[in-house]
């Protein structure tokens, strides 16, 4: 049976409320879909570390620059759900763009300080888009919504940037 999908932040919160109330740990594996073995390895690790596993599938327009082809990025929610079948994923969060970036959304994050030198000038805009992807806007970011709500204890943003046991 395919993993259940929710599309709204409100429904996501509602579906996780009992787990939170019971003190269960929740792992989030955020993706842009087109799931591959690397994503599935993160899901498997999340399953080892948490009681509840949520995989987000959101093709983020902010990840794409003007010369990059957002429209051609692969989107096949049914295929992604099939890849997750049997891996212990409790829920897929697949919001539309308007849910993540409602009218009036204006939050952007610039990478600065010691980290700013880690990105070549040609990739700085991509770094900004990637960091902004996580949202950091209370009204628009399901990722931050999940992170803000204890007892979120495990979040995997990929093999490069793991967050484990974040103090929230």
The catalytic residue positions are 39
* DSSP secondary structure string for all residues of 12-75: HHHHHHHHHHTT--EEEEEE-SS--HHHHHHHHHHHHH-SEEEEEE---GGG--TTS-GGGS--
From residue 156, alpha-carbon distances to 35, 72, 160 in Å are 15, 26, 9
Q: Which residues contact 72 (CB under 8 A, 6 or more apart)?
A: none
Coil, helix or strand for 102? coil
Rounded to 5°, the CA angle 123-140-149 comes to 105
């Amino acid at each position: 049976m395919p993993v259940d999908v929710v599309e709204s932040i409100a429904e996501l919160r509602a579906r996780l409320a009992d787990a939170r109330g019971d003190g269960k740990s929740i792992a989030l594996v955020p993706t842009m879909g087109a799931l591959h073995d690397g994503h599935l390895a993160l899901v498997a690790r999340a399953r080892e570390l948490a009681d509840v596993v949520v995989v987000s599938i959101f093709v983020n327009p902010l990840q794409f620059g003007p010369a990059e082809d957002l429209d051609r990025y692969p989107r096949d929610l049914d295929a992604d759900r099939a890849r997750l079948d049997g891996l212990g994923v409790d829920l897929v969060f697949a919001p539309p763009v308007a849910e993540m970036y409602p009218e009036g959304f204006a939050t952007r994050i610039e990478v600065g300080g010691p980290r700013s030198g880690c990105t070549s000038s040609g990739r700085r805009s991509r770094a900004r888009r990637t960091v902004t992807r996580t949202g950091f806007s209370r009204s628009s970011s399901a990722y931050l919504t999940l992170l803000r709500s204890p007892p979120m204890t495990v979040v995997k943003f990929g093999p490069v940037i793991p967050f484990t046991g974040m103090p929230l």
